[in-house]
Amino acid sequence: MSDTTFPAPGHSWAAHFGDLAFRLDFDPDGRKLAFAAIGTEQAAEGNQTVEYTAVPLRQGLFLVYWQEAGGTTVSHVEDFAEGRVHTNITSPDGTFFNASGAWEQLA
């Protein structure tokens, strides 16, 4: 893998932010991901699929961002080397959420 190769496409990952967790399924094409909350009432709402952009920051570290159909914007700093993820989420009403947590590949 080169320094700029994003390792997520074709794999599933979990982002754990304390009591809040998400599953992200990256399509092999490297353009779309499906995500859903894990283990919460929101999980019943099902997956949402979005187009994302991944920008390499250094080997194993990527800025990943997307906009959801409802207008929510999400940015992640995904650290594949350290197993950490940092997120910033802005809702259409201006509510801002940020968190850091564990980033793990799912089988």
Helix (H, G, I), strand (E, B) or coil at 89: strand
* pTM exceeds 0.85, yes or no: yes
Q: Would you write out the chain's pLDDT as a tens digit for each of its 107 residues?
A: 456 799 999 999 999 999 899 999 999 999 999 999 997 665 555 689 999 999 999 999 999 999 999 999 999 999 999 999 999 999 999 999 999 999 999 97
Q: Write down the pLDDT at residue 27.
A: 97
Rounded distance, CA 68 to CA 66, Å? 7
Q: What angle do CA 50, 35, 2 make, to 5 degrees?
A: 75
* Structural class in CATH, domain 12-106: mainly beta
Unique residue bearing structure tokens 């920008």: 55
Contacts with 7 (C-beta within 8 Å, 6 or more apart), sequence order: 1, 60, 80
**Token pair of 72, please?**
């929510």
Domain boundaries along the sequence of the chain: 12-106
